Amino acid sequence: MAVKVMIPTPLRQFAGKQESVNLEAGTVGDALNALTSQFGDLKKHLYSDDGRLRSFVNVYVNDEDIRYLQREKTAVQQGDTISIVPSIAGGAKA
Amino acid sequence: MLILKQSLFEQIQAHGARDYPNECCGALLGQDGGTDRTVLGLVPLANQRDDSPSNRFEITSEDVRLAEKTASDKGWELIGWYHSHPDSPARPSDFDREHAWPWYSYIIFRVEKAEPREMRSWRLNDDRTSYAEEGIEYIAGAPA
């Protein structure tokens, strides 16, 4: 399926300065794998060292959060738009 | 360099004082000119960390999308974030670093016994191991 992945502004510098990337994928996980294979410098900002999506990285298919679908196994349809949106967290030392 | 109007600086400080002893947080909207970027407006947001709000903050992805839309509607960009460190230094913690992305400006300011103190701005380096401090230039003026 041809899908469009929207690249958030802070990460465009690692994706050829593109606002979006068109990819072939069957699931959200496939799409993110294809994206980070094409643009290797993106990977460390999306995934932690153990290979899991970072806790503050949220992914939407069209407007639906994949946490409420099948997460990275969520199937995508032709023409879907995948968005990567951070939640912002931090704080002083404990 | 991060260019910040005095009136917005004072709004950020007031937010930190108001929410003390908890951390406050919000979005920085403005224009990115490459080396220099200018803050033109703020979106104060609720700290969603109910469990430990005095040393942690969280802004949900829904609020991030709201801030992006607010910026876009004004023809600006979402250029960064601010948060307070109550009774702690105005520099990023390891927890901050683990949850940051490059490019964004992260304003951190110390609030000491409900009094706002020093404010500094930081940008995460591309390798995620450290931050570079970004100077803040304060200019006169009201919000756009």
pLDDT band per the 50, 70, 90 thresholds, residue B143: low
Q: Whole-number mean pLDDT of chain A?
A: 96
Query: Which residues in chain A have Cβ-Cβ distances shorter than 8 Å to B126?
Result: 14, 41
Q: Do A90 and B55 touch (CB under 8 A)?
A: no
CA A90 to chain centre: 21
Q: Report the percentage of chain B scoring pLDDT > 90.
A: 95
Among A7, A39, A88, the strongest candidate for a mutation testing the B interface, having the largest count of B CBs within 10 A, is A88
What's phi and psi for A68, nearest 5 deg?
-100, 5
pLDDT band per the 50, 70, 90 thresholds, residue A93: confident
Q: Do A56 and B99 touch (CB under 8 A)?
A: yes
Q: What is the pLDDT of residues B65-122, one digit of tens each?
A: 999 999 999 999 999 999 999 999 999 999 999 999 999 999 999 999 999 999 999 9
pTM: 0.95
DSSP character at residue A14: G
Distance CA B49, CA B55 (A): 9
Distance CA B14, CA B63 (A): 21
